[in-house]
């Protein structure tokens, strides 16, 4: 039995704070449990009542001989702690805390919430909420919530961080005819969070599609691990809000969650096969499609229409979404030509013409769906004199049975005259839309899911980097820097860190006097570059802190003196550590890589076009380090224009792409091994036809280990 | 009286091909005219009948004493020519040809169509169609079409190139409660096209919003001139299909129209203030918004919600659309604080909480809409226990009256329990959506319209270029090139063309022998570049056809010989005109500009980042030359990343942006003056802190003048 199973299929439920008074939440919950047809034992708990809705009332949870499988708590916030403690003492393991007045109301509430969490830990209890609407399962059936109404039975689990959203969706779904397996209201997510319920929905046999509305995730890497596993079995579709600056502000004032950056979420979803819906409408269009249709094997769509204009609109939309118009086989075309009128368009979109009756639709659909070059079908119907929307709807249901592996969608473009046909489609399990673009967007979502899954199915087990990394050297350098009261490493230190992880860096050493500088240069070989060694001086060139192309001992000595003079003149109060001597490297293709950190998902890896125009061109792709594979890194490269350069733009020799991938893998490993690296920038790296060289490396560490989930 | 007025408000209509047989188009038309309540005279014309639907039948249009104001033709295609000729002879001026079987069925049909067009010219007749559904006006009222149903009376004119689309929309609108002033079915647009009907809807007092579905436009520049004028008075919202490659193919097979490139349409719409809808749904969401709401003065939206989650989603959507969340004044915040519960969020979005009754909505809306920092309002409502969707709908109607200049929108998130409230809103003239993102998209459309209008209202009268252009020199160069059987100009010729139009070009001259080369270089001043002069040799550098940085007479002479040797070795059969000597210019910021041609809209002007990475970075903006102003060119610059470079990136000295604008204006003038230029590329131009220099200019002319509307 799954860990959370008793939240959905308990045999006994107690409601603490049950009430006799209609309109009170404690009344609504008991009423909902009874009316949902729950077959188990229901125990209202209230110290002052004898009977509620025909059930005999227990005075306290501690009075029961056996703890109920599930306890719903709906008492004033001030009493919640005591009640939860009683639950713990009574041996209760599963709690739904409806009560509000916790983290969402500020610091006092947060204190109260922390106490609940402590009790859950102490007694080993699982808690949904607090500040939630409750939980529903249509298959049990059970409605342990105070929401009005109970969803139709279906195969979609909806997990919502917003109670109002859950209530709105429930109301909407009853009109739209969409069925659900579960409704889960996360509330403040003090103990159980989205990841727990996604994992459980993943193993629930009644759930085929998992829908989430979230404003944040509690533990980034845990979410990623779970989502990656679950999305291999069933689609997870997420509407994530709070992605804008202002939205994040609103999210903070709403549930007190610190919103993660949008970029990190985008990456997390992409890397785990989660589909992100861009709007509520898309969320539900995708839900109804996944709930009823198989995932198409590919992106080739066949369109059958009784009117030209909508056919063109749909073709545009299919292309704009990056899907393909299927190209029919010769046999299909021949068959269509034999039977369709001469003016009909036989190629995709097939125009069966305005005077098409259902027979023409049926014949065409049968031929087109049988074609191996077709992965999914979309039927467009405009109301004309001889159109029979009902018959064509029934035809589509037949086709779904006949071609079970090919998803089918309908755009019934009109109003009242098509309502009956729409109803037949919806009830029969074919997504029916008013406008064709909605159908195309749904197909796109399904195709994307298929592609994401194909990506995840690849072997991601290859370890990023073979074991040849030298953690000790890195630790020693960090230690020295911190003892020096520095969080930004010197260039020479950063290069040693890079080399310790196998990232080829241009040789660079710190000189403390002109003679040392000359010796270093002699050992390195000329020409060299001299740079002032001071992490505080940012635009070194502008203050005469850099001398390039130094060709002999004399030039190096002079450069040292000149640089130190300039630095001391411009920055009399800034610590200067000396001058760093770096070997001048031959010019290569300039790229950039680096590390940044997201509060929820940990380190992010960047790759892009390097050089002075980085900020202008912003040609950079990102991935989260957690779970990153070499194949992901290759994808990451391919997303950028820099990739065209690496492959050899305009006839130039290609660069060593494998070496670039290896170095990014090593940067990723470094990021994962050392969470104390808060930022790393390598700009530029020169990529050569063979190998590469990191020219300018900047590493910032945080003085304390951040609180991360590793 | 407007030219097309009799199509919508005739006093008499004849229907040629009127039929007694129900189900026939000729029957449906007569029936529709009668049933629409048309108050004028209806004359069925049929040589074999006596009476149709109670009206006495005329045998031939030529039998009438006076020509009717409007004649609808619905006869077999083969008979259309004769009938139309009779109409002409009878003095008919306005024709609606329903009959199909013309351009849309291929070359034979095209022949037939050309004959109709000839007759219209001969007799001075205006023709809608052929191959159309007809015309409707709800204010007259008149339904001279064979479509089933008649739209609700309203203020939206719908002009459709697709008959099926018109029928679908009509059916849909009856259910959705949207009202229309006119339905116009363009058919094949043989004589009257979208531009004619847009112009007429522009002066129709019953029309407030113009909606178009088009697959192409017939005459680009005429469309632009009309659209620009009309869109100053009322919004034109266009759904343009056939923008994809495959869609264009489908469009061609549909109405035989040659689809213009998407880029040209985008520019045409932007430059004339036309709003482009991206989907059918957006088209109608915009229509219902413009039909009922005033255009907001700015982009600051106030959101009032009874639930947090949807508030965040909406905030995200507002930011994603580039709109602003309004920031309330102190007074507004204070007023809200006094009356709303302590847990309510007073800042935008205002969360009046789940237990909000209508009073709380009313109070909040009143305060928020009175705030000068608010341009439009959006009400979100989730169904909760005390929510009163009907009362809040009525409150919103009151607010519309109280704040007539502020548009108001609703997202009623739910199903059946909110239906009554939705109905009140729709009937009362407030756009009501199920999902908040739809509302935001509609607000975005209205704000964009306002911004486009503000742009158009600027003085566009400044002539692009003061009269100092030298057409004669250009003509002479083109003449010489064509006599030389060349359509690609030599670099030195192209530079002369540029100079003739005041575009500063680096000095370049053609030398026919080494001595001449040296003389040219001496006159120009060193250093110079030598390039092989042959338009057929594309990659001149790769074949040793370019020598740079030549510093004296000797080097120039040697370069000449070497270049000619190389060219003759690599291209023994290619005509070589000699070697061009160009002055080497100091390096500046590299930009690109040029001309391309669109079949429907004429010359397009490009501007972007120049240099070798042009094709990689694709940092280019486009505008149509027709009607382009200097302000438009400035916008065009600002759309690119190259603009950041011109303004002085990373502390570099800014370039002479006015000189860049002037040169692009001159290129535009050149494009408009010489339609025979089929392509022009200037890449790179070096832009300097003062002035600029065109380095490499390529001009291709077409041997014949293209058929353009000038």
Where would I find the H helices in A57-106? 77-90
pLDDT digits (tens, 9 = 90+) for A412-428: 999 889 999 999 999 99
How many Cβ atoms are within 10 Å of A595's Cβ, its own excluded?
23
Q: pLDDT band at residue B257, thresholds of 50, 70 and 90?
A: very low
CB-based contact A168 B213, cutoff 8 Å: no
Q: Chain A: give the shortest CA distance to residue B386, in Å.
A: 10
Compute, in degrees rounded to 10, the torsion defined by CA atoms A156, A159, A163, A169: -20
State the pLDDT confidence band at A457, using cuts at 50, 70 and 90.
low
Q: Is pLDDT of A109 > 60?
A: yes
Window from A313-317, A679-683, B45-49, B259-263 with minimum mean pLDDT:
B259-263
The answer to whether the beta carbons of residues A155 and A197 sit under 8 Å apart is no
A250: confidence class by pLDDT, cuts 50, 70, 90 = low
Contact partners, residue B606, CB within 8 Å, separation at least 6: B592, B593, B594, B595, B596, B620, B621, B622
User: What's the pTM?
Assistant: 0.90
3-state secondary structure of A616: helix
Residue B483 CB coordination number (10 Å): 8
Structural domains present in chain A: 5-289 (3.40.50.261), 295-451 (3.40.50.261), 507-583 (3.30.1490.20), 589-701 (3.30.470.20)
**Chain B (186-205) residues lying within 8 Å, Cβ to Cβ, of chain A:** none
Q: Which of A472 and B536 is assigned the larger pLDDT?
A: A472
Given an 8 Å threshold on Cβ–Cβ distance, is A345 in contact with B253? yes
- Which pLDDT belongs to residue A710? 41
Give the pLDDT score at A243: 64
Say if residue A406's pLDDT is above 90.
Answer: yes
B191-246 pLDDT, tens digit each = 999 999 999 999 999 999 999 999 989 889 999 999 999 999 999 999 998 866 55
- pLDDT band at residue B255 under the 50/70/90 scheme: very low
Burial of B539 (0-12, 13-18, 19+ CB in 10 A): exposed
Of B167, B312, B612, the CB nearest to A215: B312
Please tell me which residue, B440 or B246, carries the higher pLDDT value: B440
The CA-based angle B456-B458-B459, given to 5 degrees, is 115
Contact between A345 and B254 using a beta-carbon 8 Å cutoff: yes
pLDDT at residue B355, rounded to an integer: 86
- A554: pLDDT strictly greater than 50: yes
* pLDDT digit string, tens, across residues A348-369: 999 999 888 999 999 999 999 9
- Chain A hits for B423, CB-CB cut-off 8 Å, are none
Mean pLDDT of chain B: 92
Chain A touched by B346 (CB under 8 Å)? no
Residue A669 · residue A701 · CB < 8 Å = no
Whole-complex ipTM: 0.88
Q: Is the model's pLDDT at A2 over the cut of 80?
A: no
Instruction: Look at residue A606 in the predicted model and tell me its pLDDT.
Output: 94
Predicted confidence band of residue A343 (pLDDT cuts 50, 70, 90): confident
B281 neighbourhood in chain A, CB within 8 Å: 434-435, 437-438
* pLDDT tens digits, B365-395: 999 999 999 999 999 999 987 889 999 999 9
Distance separating alpha carbons of residues B46 and B59, to the nearest angstrom: 5
Give how far A174 is from chain B: nearest CA, Å: 7
| pLDDT average, residue stretch A657-676 | 95
For residue range B456-510, list pLDDT tens digits in order: 765 555 578 877 899 999 999 999 998 888 899 999 999 999 999 999 999 999 9
CB-based contact (8 Å) between B309 and chain A? yes
Spell out a b/e string for A646-678, using b for 16 or more CB atoms within 10 Å of the CB, else e. Answer: beebeeeeebbbebbbbbbbbbbbbbbbbbbbb
Q: What average pLDDT does range B257-275 have in this prediction?
A: 81
Q: What is the mean pLDDT of residues A555-567?
A: 95
Q: Work out the pLDDT band at B709, boundaries 50, 70, 90.
A: very low
pLDDT of residue B134: 97
Q: Categorize the per-residue pLDDT at B580 as very low, low, confident or very high, splitting at 50, 70 and 90.
A: very high
Interface list for A 368-427 with B (CB within 8 A): 382-385, 413-419
pLDDT of residue A495: 97
Mean pLDDT of A55-82: 96
A220 within 8 A of A268, measured Cβ to Cβ: yes
Q: Tell me how far apart the alpha carbons of residues A119 and B335 are, in angstroms, rounded to a whole number.
A: 42
What is the distance between the alpha carbons of residues A477 and A697, in angstroms, rounded to a whole number?
A: 14
- What whole-number percentage of chain B has pLDDT above 90? 81
φ, ψ (nearest 5 deg) of residue A540: -60, -40
Q: How far is Cα A211 from Cα A217, in angstroms, rounded to an integer?
A: 15
Overall average pLDDT of the B107-126 stretch: 96
Phi/psi at B411 (nearest 5 deg)?
A: -120, 105
Q: Give the strand pairing for B579-583 and B508-511.
A: antiparallel
How much is the mean pLDDT over chain A?
Answer: 92
Of B164, B383, B417, nearest to A310 by CB-CB distance is B164
What is the rounded CA–CA span in Å between residue B106 and residue A281?
42
pLDDT in tens, A604-625: 999 999 876 777 778 899 999 9
Burial letters for A392-405: b for 16+ Cβ neighbours within 10 Å, e otherwise?
bbbbbbebbeebee
Average pLDDT score over residue span A481-489: 90
Grade residue B546 by pLDDT with cuts at 50, 70 and 90. very high
Torsion sign, CA atoms B677, B682, B688, B692:
negative
Mean pLDDT calculated for residue range B595-619: 86
Please report the pLDDT score of residue A23 as a whole number.
87
Determine the pLDDT at residue A257.
Answer: 44
pLDDT band at A650 (very low <50, low <70, confident <90, very high): confident
* CA–CA dist A283, B377 (Å, integer): 25
Q: What percent of chain B has pLDDT above 70?
A: 95
Confidence band, pLDDT 50/70/90 cuts, at residue A465:
confident
Q: Is the pLDDT of residue B591 over 90?
A: yes
Residue A402 predicted with pLDDT over 90: yes
**Residue B244: its pLDDT value, please?**
61
The answer to whether residue A254 scores a pLDDT higher than 50 is: no
pLDDT mean over B290-314: 95
For helices B436-457 and B280-292, the axis angle rounded to 10 degrees is: 70
pLDDT in tens, A487-500: 999 999 999 999 99
Q: Which residues of B touch A645 (CB under 8 A)?
A: 616
Q: Measured between alpha carbons, how far is B630 from B461 in angstroms, rounded to an integer? A: 10
A436 touches chain B (CB under 8 A): yes
Average pLDDT over residues A256-267: 69
Subunit contact B250:A308, Cβ cutoff 8 A: yes
pLDDT of the residue at A467? 72
């Amino acid at each position: 039995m799954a860990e959370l199973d008793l939240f959905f299929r308990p045999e006994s439920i107690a409601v603490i704070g049950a009430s006799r008074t209609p309109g009170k939440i404690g009344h609504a919950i008991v009423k909902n449990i009874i009316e949902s047809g729950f077959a188990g034992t229901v125990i209202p708990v209230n110290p002052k009542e004898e009977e509620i809705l025909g059930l005999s009332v227990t005075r306290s949870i501690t009075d029961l001989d056996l703890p109920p499988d599930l306890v719903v708590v709906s008492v004033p916030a001030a009493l919640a702690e005591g009640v939860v403690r009683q639950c713990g003492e009574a041996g209760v393991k599963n709690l739904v805390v409806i009560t509000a007045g916790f983290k969402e109301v500020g610091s006092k509430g947060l204190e109260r919430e922390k106490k609940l969490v402590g009790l859950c830990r102490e007694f080993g209890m699982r808690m949904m909420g607090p500040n939630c609407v409750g939980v529903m399962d249509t298959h049990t059936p059970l409605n342990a919530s105070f929401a009005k109404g109970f969803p139709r039975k279906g195969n979609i689990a909806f997990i919502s961080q917003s109670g109002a959203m859950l209530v709105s969706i429930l109301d909407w779904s009853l009109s739209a005819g969409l069925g659900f397996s579960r409704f889960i209201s996360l509330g403040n997510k003090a103990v159980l969070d989205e990841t727990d319920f996604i994992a459980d929905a993943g193993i629930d046999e009644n759930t085929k599609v998992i829908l989430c509305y979230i404003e944040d995730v509690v533990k980034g890497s845990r979410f990623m691990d779970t989502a990656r596993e679950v999305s291999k079995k069933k689609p997870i579709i997420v509407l994530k809000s709070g992605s804008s600056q202002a939205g994040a502000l609103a999210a903070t004032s709403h549930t007190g969650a610190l919103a993660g950056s949008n970029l990190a979420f985008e990456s997390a979803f992409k890397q785990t096969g989660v589909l992100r819906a861009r709007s509520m409408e898309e969320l539900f269009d995708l839900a109804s499609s996944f709930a009823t249709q198989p995932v198409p094997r590919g992106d080739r769509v066949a369109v059958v229409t009784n009117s030209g204009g909508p056919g063109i609109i749909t073709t545009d939309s299919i292309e704009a979404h990056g899907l393909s118009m299927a190209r029919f086989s010769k046999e299909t075309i021949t068959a269509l030509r034999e039977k369709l009128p001469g003016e009909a368009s036989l190629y995709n979109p097939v125009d069966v013409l305005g005077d098409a009756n259902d027979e023409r639709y049926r014949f065409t659909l049968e031929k087109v769906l049988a074609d191996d070059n077709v992965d999914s079908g979309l039927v467009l119907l405009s109301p004309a004199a001889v159109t029979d929307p009902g018959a064509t709807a029934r035809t589509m249901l037949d086709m779904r049975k006949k071609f079970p592996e090919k998803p089918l969608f309908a755009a019934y473009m009109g109003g009242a005259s098509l309502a009956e046909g729409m109803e037949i489609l919806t009830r029969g399990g074919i997504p029916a839309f008013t406008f064709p673009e909605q159908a195309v967007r749904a197909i796109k979502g399904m195709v994307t899911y298929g592609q994401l899954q194909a990506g995840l199915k690849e072997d991601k087990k290859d370890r990023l980097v073979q074991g040849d990394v030298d953690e000790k050297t890195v630790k020693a350098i960090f230690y020295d820097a911190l003892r020096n009261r520095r969080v930004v490493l010197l260039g020479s230190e950063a290069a040693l860190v890079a080399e310790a992880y196998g990232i080829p860096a241009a040789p660079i050493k710190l000189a403390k006097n002109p003679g040392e500088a000359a010796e270093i240069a002699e050992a390195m070989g000329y020409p060299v570059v001299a740079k002032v060694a001071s992490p505080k001086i940012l635009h070194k060139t502008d203050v005469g802190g850099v001398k390039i192309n130094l060709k002999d001992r004399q030039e190096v000595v002079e450069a040292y003196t000149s640089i130190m003079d300039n630095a001391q003149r411009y920055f009399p109060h800034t610590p200067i550590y000396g001058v760093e001597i770096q070997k001048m490297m031959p010019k290569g293709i300039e790229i950039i890589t680096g590390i940044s950190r997201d509060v929820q998902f940990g380190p992010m890896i960047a790759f892009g076009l390097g050089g002075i125009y980085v900020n202008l061109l912003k040609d950079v792709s990102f991935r989260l380090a957690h779970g990153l594979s070499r194949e992901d890194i290759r994808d990451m490269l391919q997303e950028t224009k820099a990739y065209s350069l690496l492959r050899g733009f305009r006839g130039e020799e290609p660069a060593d792409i494998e070496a670039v991938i290896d170095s990014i893998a090593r940067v990723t490993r470094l990021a994962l091994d050392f969470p104390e690296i808060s930022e790393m920038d390598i700009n530029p790296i020169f990529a050569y036809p063979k190998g590469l060289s990191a020219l300018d490396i900047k590493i910032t560490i945080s003085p304390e280990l951040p609180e991360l989930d590793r």
